[in-house]
Amino acid sequence: MRVILSIAGSDSSGGAGIQADLKAIAACGGYGATVITAITAQNTRGVRAAQELATDLIEAQLRAVFEDLPVAAVKTGMLSSAAVVGTVARELRRIGPLPFVLDPVMIAKSGHALLAADAVDTLRSELLPLATLVTPNRHEAEALAGIPVRDAEGAAAAGRILLDGGCKAVLVKGGHLEGPTAMDVLITPEAVEVFEGPRLQTRHTHGTGCTLAAAIATYLGKGYDLVGAVRVAKRFVTEAIRGGIAIGSGQGPTDPFFYLRGGNTDSWVRELGWHDPELPAREVKEQ
């Protein structure tokens, strides 16, 4: 079982952040370790308050994990400030190259800011160049690239700008892009590939971005190539959204363990590659 490290904030409602990451990592067959960067008070209706943890405590968590656990991949989420971004970047440089999925969390679905405005440049200059994959939504892609993003063409243009910033690949998530389907656009130095899925009509999408990024990190840690990891994680998160949980009076969470409740456990265990942690991406069947 591969160890996947999530560096992110805590969501008291359990739908996003560290809690969503741990569920997605476990559901995809990994072992989740965590570094908590902030504590939020939130529920399905929105974020009430947030408190960043001290950078020396964040650093201590990072060093404790890396000193003892064989981390196979890293995923970051809420980093909140330039100081936190700098601390995480410094420690990742010290550890050396690992598959690293950067989810540039900036604003909660409720509109609450989760990344300080003055931290965007630090994220762009210090953390972006370390990333195997950056997974912005439309609004985050616009903020990082500095251009409008409305459709797949705009996503590709923004992705190329971010590639120039030093990351190896960009996946612009399609939930906010225009079009009848949910199109995730993967931009690498070699090509642009579009992963399409149904645009599901549901309000229970809390934690979608966290779940997708954590799933991709898990598959990278299990030895999948980038395209294969994105492909199977895209299908996984689509089903997690389809199985979203109607809990609370606002936006309920996705359900990474959908396959335990729908009677198709055996097929999804095979599909997620649990029987062979080194299953190559080319052997993953598309449906």
Annotated catalytic residue within 135, 208, 211, 238 = 208
Instruction: Kindly state the tokens that stand for 122.
Output: 């630090």
Strand partners, 50: 40
Annotated catalytic residue within 173, 188, 228, 238 = 173
Query: Which residue in the block uniquely carries the two structure tokens 């190539």?
Result: 225
Amino acid (one-letter) located at 287: Q
Q: Is 238 a catalytic residue?
A: no
Q: Is 285 a catalytic residue?
A: no
User: Is 226:22 a contact under the CB 8 Å cutoff?
Assistant: no
Annotated catalytic residue within 30, 159, 207, 243 = 207
Q: Is 173 a catalytic residue?
A: yes
Q: Is 34 a catalytic residue?
A: no
Annotated catalytic residue within 209, 221, 244, 252 = 209
Q: State the Rg of the chain over Cα.
A: 17
Annotated catalytic residue within 135, 210, 228, 238 = 210
Query: What are the Cα distances from residue 61, in Å, to 33, 35, 102, 153?
Result: 10, 6, 18, 40
Q: Is 207 a catalytic residue?
A: yes
Annotated catalytic residue within 205, 218, 238, 254 = 205
Q: Is 28 a catalytic residue?
A: no
Query: What are the Cα distances from residue 254, in Å, to 39, 187, 286?
Result: 20, 26, 22
Instruction: Kindly state the tokens that stand for 24.
Output: 């997605």
Supply the residues annotated as catalytic.
173, 205, 207-210
